[in-house]
Amino acid sequence: MKKVYKIDVDCANCANKLEDTAKKFEGIEDAAVNFMTQKIHIEFKDQVSPDDVMPELRKACKKIHRGCEIYI
């Protein structure tokens, strides 16, 4: 399943860190952040619910930068 989420990141470096972090998450097949559009495209692995993954990814986003946000 593929989903797109609006994000709020202040710099391209934070966007890259968010993308790298998302790619390492269990349950996520692939992720791509577009800093210009402020969106993250996530492809979830089969049989994985986004509701199970996204709360933890949002917490990880805050560790990258306190102003980082993923809107679900």
Residue 2: per-residue pLDDT: 97
The predicted structure's pLDDT at residue 60 = 96
Q: How many domains does the chain have?
A: 1
For residue 23, the model assigns a pLDDT of 98
The CATH number of the domain holding residue 53 is: 3.30.70.100
Q: Tokens in use for 21?
A: 């972090």
pTM: 0.93
Q: How far apart are CA 40 and CA 28, in angstroms?
A: 12
What is residue 29's predicted lDDT score, i.e. its pLDDT? 98
> Closest Cα to residue 53, out of 61, 10, 34?
61
Q: Which domain holds residue 9?
A: 2-71
pLDDT at 18 (0 to 100): 97
Q: Which residues of the chain have pLDDT under 50?
A: none
Burial class (CB within 10 angstroms; exposed 0-12, middle 13-18, buried 19+) of 57: buried
